[in-house]
Structure 1
Protein backbone atom coordinates (compact mmCIF):
# COMPACT_ATOMS: atom_id res chain seq x y z
CA UNK A 1 0.00 0.00 0.00
CA UNK A 2 1.40 3.40 -0.97
CA UNK A 3 1.96 5.95 1.80
CA UNK A 4 -0.38 8.93 2.01
CA UNK A 5 1.36 12.30 1.64
CA UNK A 6 -0.55 15.34 2.95
CA UNK A 7 0.46 18.73 1.54
CA UNK A 8 -0.69 21.81 3.46
CA UNK A 9 -1.76 25.21 2.14
CA UNK A 10 -0.19 28.64 1.94
CA UNK A 11 1.15 30.15 5.18
CA UNK A 12 0.25 27.03 7.15
CA UNK A 13 2.52 24.30 8.48
CA UNK A 14 2.26 20.50 8.57
CA UNK A 15 0.75 20.93 12.04
CA UNK A 16 -2.57 21.71 10.35
CA UNK A 17 -2.90 17.96 9.66
CA UNK A 18 -2.22 16.82 13.25
CA UNK A 19 -5.76 16.17 14.44
CA UNK A 20 -7.03 15.01 11.06
CA UNK A 21 -4.27 12.42 10.72
CA UNK A 22 -5.67 10.65 13.78
CA UNK A 23 -9.05 10.31 12.06
CA UNK A 24 -7.55 8.47 9.09
CA UNK A 25 -7.47 4.66 8.97
CA UNK A 26 -4.65 3.32 11.13
CA UNK A 27 -3.46 1.16 8.24
CA UNK A 28 -2.37 4.26 6.30
CA UNK A 29 1.22 5.43 6.55
CA UNK A 30 0.85 9.21 6.68
CA UNK A 31 3.58 11.71 5.85
CA UNK A 32 3.28 15.50 6.18
CA UNK A 33 6.22 17.34 4.57
CA UNK A 34 6.49 21.12 4.68
CA UNK A 35 6.18 23.13 1.50
CA UNK A 36 9.19 25.28 0.54
CA UNK A 37 9.60 28.35 2.72
CA UNK A 38 7.20 26.99 5.34
CA UNK A 39 8.13 25.65 8.78
CA UNK A 40 11.83 24.74 8.47
CA UNK A 41 11.85 23.98 4.74
CA UNK A 42 14.22 26.16 2.66
CA UNK A 43 12.69 28.72 0.33
CA UNK A 44 12.98 28.31 -3.45
CA UNK A 45 12.10 30.36 -6.53
CA UNK A 46 8.48 31.59 -6.69
CA UNK A 47 7.37 29.24 -9.47
CA UNK A 48 5.35 26.06 -8.99
CA UNK A 49 7.78 23.74 -10.77
CA UNK A 50 10.58 24.79 -8.40
CA UNK A 51 8.35 24.04 -5.41
CA UNK A 52 7.42 20.62 -6.77
CA UNK A 53 11.02 19.73 -7.58
CA UNK A 54 12.18 20.80 -4.12
CA UNK A 55 9.54 18.61 -2.51
CA UNK A 56 10.24 15.53 -4.63
CA UNK A 57 13.24 14.19 -2.62
CA UNK A 58 11.07 14.12 0.51
CA UNK A 59 8.47 11.85 -1.07
CA UNK A 60 8.45 8.05 -1.11
CA UNK A 61 9.02 6.27 -4.41
CA UNK A 62 5.26 5.99 -4.89
CA UNK A 63 2.54 7.70 -2.92
CA UNK A 64 -1.08 8.71 -2.74
CA UNK A 65 -0.70 12.50 -2.75
CA UNK A 66 -3.30 14.66 -1.04
CA UNK A 67 -2.99 18.41 -1.46
CA UNK A 68 -5.07 21.13 0.12
CA UNK A 69 -5.36 24.64 -1.37
CA UNK A 70 -1.83 25.62 -2.50
CA UNK A 71 -0.86 22.04 -1.72
CA UNK A 72 -3.45 20.92 -4.29
CA UNK A 73 -1.61 22.86 -7.00
CA UNK A 74 1.63 21.15 -5.98
CA UNK A 75 -0.12 17.77 -6.00
CA UNK A 76 -1.51 18.38 -9.49
CA UNK A 77 1.92 19.37 -10.77
CA UNK A 78 3.45 16.26 -9.21
CA UNK A 79 0.84 14.05 -10.88
CA UNK A 80 1.34 15.75 -14.24
CA UNK A 81 5.14 15.86 -14.35
CA UNK A 82 6.05 12.83 -12.22
CA UNK A 83 3.19 10.38 -12.83
CA UNK A 84 5.31 7.41 -11.77
CA UNK A 85 5.53 8.89 -8.25
CA UNK A 86 1.79 9.48 -7.75
CA UNK A 87 -0.47 6.42 -7.66
CA UNK A 88 -3.62 8.31 -6.69
CA UNK A 89 -4.49 11.95 -6.22
CA UNK A 90 -6.65 13.68 -3.61
CA UNK A 91 -7.45 17.39 -3.84
CA UNK A 92 -9.08 19.30 -0.98
CA UNK A 93 -10.33 22.77 -1.88
CA UNK A 94 -8.46 22.30 -5.14
CA UNK A 95 -8.35 24.25 -8.37
CA UNK A 96 -6.19 24.41 -11.50
CA UNK A 97 -6.06 28.21 -11.20
CA UNK A 98 -6.53 30.17 -7.99
CA UNK A 99 -7.33 33.58 -9.48
CA UNK A 100 -10.13 34.43 -11.90
CA UNK A 101 -9.16 35.95 -15.24
CA UNK A 102 -10.82 37.34 -18.33
CA UNK A 103 -10.06 35.90 -21.75
CA UNK A 104 -6.87 37.50 -23.08
CA UNK A 105 -3.91 36.70 -25.34
CA UNK A 106 -5.78 33.73 -26.76
CA UNK A 107 -6.32 32.19 -23.31
CA UNK A 108 -9.70 31.11 -22.00
CA UNK A 109 -11.41 33.02 -19.21
CA UNK A 110 -11.52 31.49 -15.73
CA UNK A 111 -14.38 32.55 -13.50
CA UNK A 112 -14.12 29.92 -10.77
CA UNK A 113 -11.44 31.57 -8.65
CA UNK A 114 -10.70 34.44 -6.32
CA UNK A 115 -11.36 37.85 -7.83
CA UNK A 116 -8.14 39.22 -9.35
CA UNK A 117 -8.46 42.54 -7.50
CA UNK A 118 -8.89 40.74 -4.18
CA UNK A 119 -5.83 38.60 -4.92
CA UNK A 120 -3.74 41.66 -5.76
CA UNK A 121 -4.98 43.34 -2.59
CA UNK A 122 -3.74 40.35 -0.57
CA UNK A 123 -0.30 40.66 -2.15
CA UNK A 124 -0.12 44.40 -1.51
CA UNK A 125 -1.37 44.12 2.06
CA UNK A 126 1.01 41.27 2.82
CA UNK A 127 3.94 43.48 1.83
CA UNK A 128 2.83 46.10 4.38
CA UNK A 129 1.47 43.94 7.21
CA UNK A 130 2.04 40.17 6.91
CA UNK A 131 0.44 39.29 10.25
CA UNK A 132 -2.81 41.15 9.58
CA UNK A 133 -2.99 39.73 6.06
CA UNK A 134 -2.54 36.24 7.46
CA UNK A 135 -5.46 36.78 9.84
CA UNK A 136 -7.63 37.97 6.96
CA UNK A 137 -6.68 34.96 4.85
CA UNK A 138 -7.52 32.60 7.70
CA UNK A 139 -10.88 34.30 8.17
CA UNK A 140 -11.66 33.87 4.47
CA UNK A 141 -10.84 30.15 4.65
CA UNK A 142 -13.29 29.69 7.53
CA UNK A 143 -16.03 31.80 5.94
CA UNK A 144 -19.10 29.82 4.98
CA UNK A 145 -18.34 27.05 7.46
CA UNK A 146 -20.82 25.90 10.07
CA UNK A 147 -17.91 25.44 12.48
CA UNK A 148 -16.27 28.71 11.59
CA UNK A 149 -14.90 29.48 15.04
CA UNK A 150 -13.21 26.12 15.60
CA UNK A 151 -11.80 26.10 12.05
CA UNK A 152 -10.37 29.59 12.57
CA UNK A 153 -8.77 28.50 15.83
CA UNK A 154 -7.21 25.41 14.23
CA UNK A 155 -5.84 27.37 11.28
CA UNK A 156 -4.40 30.09 13.50
CA UNK A 157 -2.68 27.51 15.70
CA UNK A 158 -0.98 25.92 12.67
CA UNK A 159 -0.07 29.12 10.82
CA UNK A 160 3.44 30.06 9.77
CA UNK A 161 5.59 32.67 11.47
CA UNK A 162 5.19 35.97 9.59
CA UNK A 163 8.29 37.60 11.06
CA UNK A 164 10.85 39.36 8.82
CA UNK A 165 12.91 36.19 8.40
CA UNK A 166 9.90 34.32 6.97
CA UNK A 167 7.91 37.01 5.17
CA UNK A 168 9.92 36.79 1.94
CA UNK A 169 9.36 33.06 1.58
CA UNK A 170 5.65 33.45 2.29
CA UNK A 171 5.41 36.23 -0.29
CA UNK A 172 6.95 33.81 -2.80
CA UNK A 173 4.26 31.28 -1.93
CA UNK A 174 1.57 33.88 -2.46
CA UNK A 175 3.06 34.57 -5.89
CA UNK A 176 2.96 30.86 -6.76
CA UNK A 177 -0.64 30.67 -5.59
CA UNK A 178 -1.81 33.67 -7.60
CA UNK A 179 0.12 33.15 -10.87
CA UNK A 180 -0.14 29.39 -11.48
CA UNK A 181 -2.47 28.08 -14.18
CA UNK A 182 -2.53 24.30 -14.57
CA UNK A 183 -5.53 24.04 -16.87
CA UNK A 184 -3.40 22.92 -19.85
CA UNK A 185 -2.04 19.99 -17.82
CA UNK A 186 -5.33 18.68 -16.44
CA UNK A 187 -6.34 16.54 -19.43
CA UNK A 188 -3.04 14.64 -19.20
CA UNK A 189 -3.47 13.58 -15.55
CA UNK A 190 -4.61 9.96 -15.59
CA UNK A 191 -4.38 8.96 -11.93
CA UNK A 192 -7.62 8.17 -10.11
CA UNK A 193 -8.53 11.40 -8.34
CA UNK A 194 -10.76 12.21 -5.38
CA UNK A 195 -12.00 15.78 -5.06
CA UNK A 196 -13.17 16.97 -1.63
CA UNK A 197 -14.72 20.42 -1.48
CA UNK A 198 -16.80 22.46 0.93
CA UNK A 199 -20.02 23.73 -0.62
CA UNK A 200 -19.66 26.99 1.31
CA UNK A 201 -16.02 27.60 0.31
CA UNK A 202 -15.68 31.39 -0.01
CA UNK A 203 -12.02 31.27 -1.03
CA UNK A 204 -12.26 28.70 -3.81
CA UNK A 205 -15.77 28.19 -5.24
CA UNK A 206 -17.00 24.62 -5.52
CA UNK A 207 -17.38 25.30 -9.25
CA UNK A 208 -13.59 24.92 -9.51
CA UNK A 209 -13.83 21.36 -8.21
CA UNK A 210 -16.76 20.66 -10.50
CA UNK A 211 -14.63 21.83 -13.44
CA UNK A 212 -11.84 19.48 -12.36
CA UNK A 213 -14.30 16.60 -12.05
CA UNK A 214 -15.36 17.19 -15.65
CA UNK A 215 -11.88 17.59 -17.14
CA UNK A 216 -9.73 15.06 -15.26
CA UNK A 217 -9.65 11.61 -16.83
CA UNK A 218 -10.74 9.68 -13.73
CA UNK A 219 -12.20 11.83 -10.97
CA UNK A 220 -15.05 11.83 -8.51
CA UNK A 221 -16.22 14.75 -6.42
CA UNK A 222 -17.52 14.71 -2.86
CA UNK A 223 -19.10 17.97 -1.69
CA UNK A 224 -19.51 18.78 1.99
CA UNK A 225 -22.53 20.84 3.00
CA UNK A 226 -21.89 23.46 5.66
CA UNK A 227 -18.14 23.48 5.03
CA UNK A 228 -15.77 26.22 3.91
CA UNK A 229 -12.25 25.88 2.53
CA UNK A 230 -11.05 23.35 5.11
CA UNK A 231 -13.56 20.47 5.29
CA UNK A 232 -10.92 18.20 6.84
CA UNK A 233 -11.05 20.47 9.91
CA UNK A 234 -14.81 21.06 9.88
CA UNK A 235 -15.91 17.48 9.13
CA UNK A 236 -12.81 15.36 9.80
CA UNK A 237 -14.60 12.03 10.21
CA UNK A 238 -16.44 12.39 6.91
CA UNK A 239 -13.29 13.49 5.05
CA UNK A 240 -11.25 10.70 6.59
CA UNK A 241 -13.86 8.12 5.62
CA UNK A 242 -13.88 9.35 2.01
CA UNK A 243 -10.08 9.21 1.85
CA UNK A 244 -10.01 5.80 3.49
CA UNK A 245 -12.48 4.31 1.01
CA UNK A 246 -10.60 5.87 -1.90
CA UNK A 247 -7.10 4.81 -0.87
CA UNK A 248 -8.00 1.34 0.36
CA UNK A 249 -10.38 0.52 -2.52
Structure 2
Protein backbone atom coordinates (compact mmCIF):
# COMPACT_ATOMS: atom_id res chain seq x y z
CA UNK A 1 0.00 0.00 0.00
CA UNK A 2 1.34 3.45 -0.94
CA UNK A 3 1.30 5.82 2.04
CA UNK A 4 -0.95 8.85 1.61
CA UNK A 5 0.47 12.35 1.91
CA UNK A 6 -1.71 12.91 5.00
CA UNK A 7 -0.47 9.75 6.69
CA UNK A 8 3.16 10.73 6.21
CA UNK A 9 2.86 14.49 6.56
CA UNK A 10 0.64 14.82 9.61
CA UNK A 11 2.05 13.00 12.65
CA UNK A 12 -1.13 13.64 14.60
CA UNK A 13 -3.05 11.56 12.06
CA UNK A 14 -0.33 9.02 11.38
CA UNK A 15 0.16 8.23 15.07
CA UNK A 16 -3.48 8.58 16.16
CA UNK A 17 -2.55 11.27 18.67
CA UNK A 18 -5.02 12.15 21.43
CA UNK A 19 -4.59 15.11 23.77
CA UNK A 20 -6.46 15.04 27.08
CA UNK A 21 -6.47 16.79 30.41
CA UNK A 22 -5.50 20.36 31.27
CA UNK A 23 -4.67 22.34 28.10
CA UNK A 24 -2.58 24.74 30.18
CA UNK A 25 -0.76 22.06 32.14
CA UNK A 26 2.74 20.75 31.66
CA UNK A 27 2.76 18.22 28.81
CA UNK A 28 3.29 14.56 29.60
CA UNK A 29 3.68 12.14 26.69
CA UNK A 30 2.99 8.44 27.21
CA UNK A 31 4.66 6.03 24.76
CA UNK A 32 3.65 2.35 24.75
CA UNK A 33 5.85 -0.70 24.29
CA UNK A 34 6.02 -3.50 21.74
CA UNK A 35 2.73 -5.21 20.93
CA UNK A 36 0.66 -2.63 22.78
CA UNK A 37 -1.22 0.57 21.99
CA UNK A 38 -2.07 3.77 23.82
CA UNK A 39 -4.90 1.87 25.54
CA UNK A 40 -2.39 0.46 28.05
CA UNK A 41 -2.20 3.94 29.61
CA UNK A 42 -5.92 4.37 30.21
CA UNK A 43 -5.61 3.57 33.94
CA UNK A 44 -2.84 6.17 34.26
CA UNK A 45 -4.66 9.08 32.65
CA UNK A 46 -6.95 9.88 35.63
CA UNK A 47 -3.91 10.56 37.82
CA UNK A 48 -2.60 13.25 35.46
CA UNK A 49 -5.47 14.82 33.53
CA UNK A 50 -6.37 17.46 36.14
CA UNK A 51 -2.95 19.12 36.19
CA UNK A 52 -1.19 17.90 33.04
CA UNK A 53 -1.70 18.07 29.30
CA UNK A 54 -1.76 14.34 28.56
CA UNK A 55 -0.59 13.18 25.14
CA UNK A 56 -1.29 9.63 23.97
CA UNK A 57 -0.33 8.09 20.64
CA UNK A 58 0.15 4.81 18.81
CA UNK A 59 3.38 3.75 17.15
CA UNK A 60 2.81 3.13 13.46
CA UNK A 61 1.44 -0.39 13.12
CA UNK A 62 -0.34 -0.38 16.47
CA UNK A 63 -3.80 0.64 17.65
CA UNK A 64 -5.43 3.29 15.51
CA UNK A 65 -2.28 4.40 13.69
CA UNK A 66 -2.26 4.73 9.92
CA UNK A 67 -0.80 1.43 8.67
CA UNK A 68 -0.21 3.00 5.26
CA UNK A 69 2.52 5.10 6.85
CA UNK A 70 4.62 2.08 7.76
CA UNK A 71 7.93 2.07 5.91
CA UNK A 72 10.32 -0.84 6.52
CA UNK A 73 13.31 1.36 5.80
CA UNK A 74 12.34 4.09 8.24
CA UNK A 75 11.38 1.66 10.98
CA UNK A 76 14.34 -0.67 10.53
CA UNK A 77 15.80 0.91 13.66
CA UNK A 78 14.39 2.66 16.71
CA UNK A 79 15.51 5.97 15.20
CA UNK A 80 12.40 5.98 13.01
CA UNK A 81 10.17 5.81 16.06
CA UNK A 82 12.20 8.54 17.78
CA UNK A 83 11.67 10.75 14.74
CA UNK A 84 7.92 10.22 15.07
CA UNK A 85 8.04 11.31 18.71
CA UNK A 86 9.87 14.51 17.78
CA UNK A 87 7.38 15.22 15.00
CA UNK A 88 4.46 14.76 17.41
CA UNK A 89 6.08 17.10 19.94
CA UNK A 90 6.78 19.68 17.25
CA UNK A 91 3.24 19.44 15.82
CA UNK A 92 1.78 20.13 19.26
CA UNK A 93 4.34 22.80 20.09
CA UNK A 94 5.36 21.10 23.34
CA UNK A 95 8.21 22.29 25.55
CA UNK A 96 9.56 20.86 28.80
CA UNK A 97 7.62 17.67 28.06
CA UNK A 98 7.73 14.73 30.42
CA UNK A 99 8.22 11.63 28.26
CA UNK A 100 7.09 8.34 29.81
CA UNK A 101 8.38 5.41 27.78
CA UNK A 102 7.46 1.83 28.57
CA UNK A 103 9.75 -1.04 27.57
CA UNK A 104 11.26 -0.41 24.11
CA UNK A 105 9.77 3.09 24.14
CA UNK A 106 12.21 3.95 26.91
CA UNK A 107 15.01 3.74 24.34
CA UNK A 108 12.86 5.56 21.78
CA UNK A 109 12.56 8.42 24.25
CA UNK A 110 16.29 8.44 24.90
CA UNK A 111 17.05 8.63 21.18
CA UNK A 112 14.55 11.47 20.73
CA UNK A 113 15.86 13.43 23.72
CA UNK A 114 19.46 12.94 22.62
CA UNK A 115 18.57 14.33 19.20
CA UNK A 116 16.77 17.42 20.61
CA UNK A 117 16.94 17.78 24.38
CA UNK A 118 15.38 21.25 24.24
CA UNK A 119 11.91 19.70 23.89
CA UNK A 120 12.18 17.50 26.98
CA UNK A 121 11.98 18.36 30.65
CA UNK A 122 12.23 14.80 31.98
CA UNK A 123 12.43 11.17 30.93
CA UNK A 124 10.63 8.40 32.79
CA UNK A 125 11.81 4.96 31.72
CA UNK A 126 9.49 2.10 32.74
CA UNK A 127 11.07 -1.36 32.46
CA UNK A 128 13.86 -0.18 30.13
CA UNK A 129 16.49 -2.32 28.45
CA UNK A 130 19.38 -0.96 26.43
CA UNK A 131 20.10 -4.42 25.00
CA UNK A 132 18.13 -7.63 25.48
CA UNK A 133 20.88 -10.01 24.38
CA UNK A 134 23.75 -10.92 26.72
CA UNK A 135 27.15 -9.66 25.57
CA UNK A 136 30.46 -10.50 27.28
CA UNK A 137 30.16 -9.01 30.79
CA UNK A 138 26.80 -7.43 30.02
CA UNK A 139 23.68 -9.35 31.03
CA UNK A 140 20.56 -8.37 29.13
CA UNK A 141 18.49 -11.33 30.26
CA UNK A 142 18.55 -13.44 27.07
CA UNK A 143 21.08 -15.55 25.21
CA UNK A 144 21.16 -14.87 21.45
CA UNK A 145 19.80 -18.38 20.84
CA UNK A 146 16.80 -17.59 23.05
CA UNK A 147 16.02 -14.43 21.08
CA UNK A 148 16.42 -16.24 17.76
CA UNK A 149 14.01 -18.94 18.94
CA UNK A 150 11.54 -16.32 20.15
CA UNK A 151 11.64 -14.52 16.81
CA UNK A 152 11.32 -17.75 14.82
CA UNK A 153 8.21 -18.68 16.79
CA UNK A 154 6.78 -15.21 16.28
CA UNK A 155 7.40 -15.47 12.52
CA UNK A 156 5.62 -18.79 12.22
CA UNK A 157 2.63 -18.14 14.50
CA UNK A 158 2.21 -14.59 15.76
CA UNK A 159 -1.16 -15.10 17.45
CA UNK A 160 0.00 -18.27 19.18
CA UNK A 161 3.20 -16.54 20.24
CA UNK A 162 1.19 -13.63 21.62
CA UNK A 163 -1.02 -15.93 23.69
CA UNK A 164 2.08 -17.49 25.23
CA UNK A 165 4.38 -14.51 25.72
CA UNK A 166 1.87 -11.90 26.92
CA UNK A 167 1.01 -13.66 30.21
CA UNK A 168 4.74 -14.23 30.85
CA UNK A 169 5.47 -10.55 30.28
CA UNK A 170 2.60 -9.51 32.49
CA UNK A 171 3.47 -11.80 35.39
CA UNK A 172 0.93 -11.66 38.22
CA UNK A 173 -0.23 -15.22 37.56
CA UNK A 174 -2.82 -14.77 40.31
CA UNK A 175 -4.53 -12.19 38.09
CA UNK A 176 -4.94 -13.99 34.75
CA UNK A 177 -7.24 -11.27 33.42
CA UNK A 178 -4.17 -9.02 33.06
CA UNK A 179 -2.46 -11.55 30.81
CA UNK A 180 -5.60 -11.83 28.72
CA UNK A 181 -5.78 -8.07 28.34
CA UNK A 182 -2.18 -7.86 27.15
CA UNK A 183 -2.81 -10.72 24.72
CA UNK A 184 -5.74 -8.78 23.28
CA UNK A 185 -3.47 -5.76 22.87
CA UNK A 186 -0.96 -7.87 20.97
CA UNK A 187 -3.70 -9.12 18.70
CA UNK A 188 -4.65 -5.59 17.62
CA UNK A 189 -1.16 -5.03 16.19
CA UNK A 190 -0.67 -5.80 12.51
CA UNK A 191 1.20 -9.17 12.50
CA UNK A 192 3.56 -8.29 9.64
CA UNK A 193 4.58 -5.04 11.28
CA UNK A 194 4.80 -6.73 14.69
CA UNK A 195 7.26 -9.27 13.36
CA UNK A 196 9.49 -6.53 11.98
CA UNK A 197 9.18 -4.40 15.12
CA UNK A 198 10.07 -7.42 17.27
CA UNK A 199 13.35 -7.92 15.43
CA UNK A 200 14.18 -4.23 15.73
CA UNK A 201 13.29 -4.29 19.43
CA UNK A 202 14.98 -7.46 20.61
CA UNK A 203 18.13 -7.08 18.50
CA UNK A 204 18.74 -3.41 19.24
CA UNK A 205 21.73 -2.18 21.22
CA UNK A 206 21.42 1.29 22.72
CA UNK A 207 24.02 1.04 25.43
CA UNK A 208 26.17 3.81 23.97
CA UNK A 209 23.19 6.18 23.88
CA UNK A 210 22.75 6.11 27.65
CA UNK A 211 25.80 8.21 28.48
CA UNK A 212 24.57 10.99 26.17
CA UNK A 213 21.35 11.59 28.11
CA UNK A 214 21.30 15.12 29.54
CA UNK A 215 17.66 15.27 30.64
CA UNK A 216 16.61 14.46 34.25
CA UNK A 217 15.75 10.77 34.19
CA UNK A 218 13.81 8.36 36.38
CA UNK A 219 14.23 4.60 35.93
CA UNK A 220 11.33 2.50 37.24
CA UNK A 221 11.99 -1.19 37.72
CA UNK A 222 9.43 -3.88 38.61
CA UNK A 223 10.09 -7.08 40.49
CA UNK A 224 10.20 -10.41 38.63
CA UNK A 225 10.32 -8.81 35.18
CA UNK A 226 11.22 -11.56 32.70
CA UNK A 227 11.74 -9.06 29.85
CA UNK A 228 13.86 -6.48 31.67
CA UNK A 229 15.16 -8.03 34.90
CA UNK A 230 16.50 -5.96 37.78
CA UNK A 231 20.19 -5.98 36.69
CA UNK A 232 19.14 -4.44 33.37
CA UNK A 233 17.34 -1.58 35.09
CA UNK A 234 20.32 -0.98 37.34
CA UNK A 235 22.62 -0.90 34.31
CA UNK A 236 20.47 1.75 32.61
CA UNK A 237 20.47 3.80 35.82
CA UNK A 238 24.24 3.51 36.28
CA UNK A 239 24.96 4.60 32.72
CA UNK A 240 22.73 7.71 32.80
CA UNK A 241 24.46 10.35 34.86
CA UNK A 242 22.32 11.76 37.65
CA UNK A 243 19.40 9.43 37.03
CA UNK A 244 17.21 8.08 39.80
CA UNK A 245 16.31 4.41 40.19
CA UNK A 246 13.12 3.32 41.93
CA UNK A 247 12.30 -0.33 42.52
CA UNK A 248 8.55 -0.81 42.35
CA UNK A 249 6.79 -3.30 44.60
CA UNK A 250 4.71 -4.40 41.62
CA UNK A 251 5.80 -7.44 39.61
CA UNK A 252 5.88 -8.11 35.89
CA UNK A 253 6.79 -6.02 32.88
CA UNK A 254 3.61 -3.88 32.70
CA UNK A 255 3.05 -1.93 35.95
CA UNK A 256 0.91 0.50 33.93
CA UNK A 257 -1.67 -2.31 33.88
CA UNK A 258 -0.91 -4.23 37.05
CA UNK A 259 -0.32 -1.32 39.46
CA UNK A 260 -1.09 2.02 37.78
CA UNK A 261 -1.61 3.84 41.08
CA UNK A 262 1.90 3.09 42.31
CA UNK A 263 3.43 3.88 38.92
CA UNK A 264 1.60 7.21 38.74
CA UNK A 265 2.61 8.12 42.28
CA UNK A 266 6.28 7.48 41.55
CA UNK A 267 6.14 9.58 38.40
CA UNK A 268 4.37 12.44 40.17
CA UNK A 269 6.91 12.31 43.01
CA UNK A 270 9.68 12.69 40.44
CA UNK A 271 8.25 15.50 38.31
CA UNK A 272 6.70 17.25 41.31
- Structures share a fold, TM > 0.5? yes
The corresponding residue for 1:153 is 180
Checking the alignment, whether the CA contact within 8 Å between 1:100 and 1:110 is kept in structure 2 is yes
Checking the alignment, whether the CA contact within 8 Å between 2:255 and 2:263 is kept in structure 1 is yes
Q: 1:113 to 1:76 in 2, by over 3 A?
A: farther
Q: 1:146 to 1:222 in 2, by over 3 A?
A: farther
Checking the alignment, whether the CA contact within 8 Å between 1:38 and 1:160 is kept in structure 2 is no
In the TM superposition, what is the alpha-carbon distance from 1:2 to its structure 2 partner? Answer: 3.2
Give the counterpart of 2:121 among 87, 94, 99: 87
* Superposed CA RMSD: 1.9
TM-score, structure 1 normalization: 0.88
Gaps of 5+ in 1: 104-108
The corresponding residue for 1:68 is 102
1:189 to 2:213 alignment: yes
Cα distance between partner residues in 2 of 1:120 and 1:99: 10
Cα distance between partner residues in 2 of 1:149 and 1:79: 36
In the TM superposition, what is the alpha-carbon distance from 1:136 to its structure 2 partner? Answer: 2.0
1:129 to 2:157 alignment: yes
Cα distance between partner residues in 2 of 1:146 and 1:136: 13
* Paired positions, count: 238
TM-score, structure 2 normalization: 0.81
1:47 to 2:77 alignment: yes
> Which fold has the larger relative contact order, with Cα–Cα distance below 8 Å and residues 6 or more apart in sequence?
1
Checking the alignment, whether the CA contact within 8 Å between 1:8 and 1:14 is kept in structure 2 is yes
The corresponding residue for 1:112 is 140
Q: 1:151 to 1:182 in 2, by over 3 A?
A: same
Cα distance between partner residues in 2 of 1:218 and 1:237: 25
The corresponding residue for 2:203 is 179
1:229 to 2:257 alignment: no
Q: 1:223 to 1:2 in 2, by over 3 A?
A: same
1:77 to 2:120 alignment: no
